[in-house]
Amino acid sequence: MTPDEARDKLEEFRVLVDDVDRRIVALLNERTRVVENIGRVKRQTQMPIYEPRREDQVFANVSATNRGPLTEEAVRRIFERIIDEMRMIQRVWMESDGDK
């Protein structure tokens, strides 16, 4: 493969990655909307934001559906970060007037 062919191939792959990234952002925003609804319920019932048992269920769910090439540990780390951000969103939402 020549350097020009390699650059063309890389550009093709990068276009694909950009598309996947946009879909990931759309899914994260969809998840955020659901989390905001969860925050509404928790706020109304004065339930805690942090629920370790539920987080364990999320990890089990995503691990069970993972078929690679990501390792189970990688999926867990990614979802730990997602959950952390969602928890922050709930906290901010619950501490505000809830109209965000």
Enumerate the domain spans of the chain: 3-95
pLDDT per residue of the chain (100 residues) written in tens, 0 to 9: 999 999 999 999 999 999 999 999 999 999 999 999 998 898 899 999 999 999 999 999 999 999 999 999 999 999 999 999 999 998 887 777 555 4
User: Contact at 8 Å (CB) between 58 and 79?
Assistant: yes
Q: Which CATH class is domain 3-95?
A: mainly alpha
User: Contact at 8 Å (CB) between 63 and 78?
Assistant: no
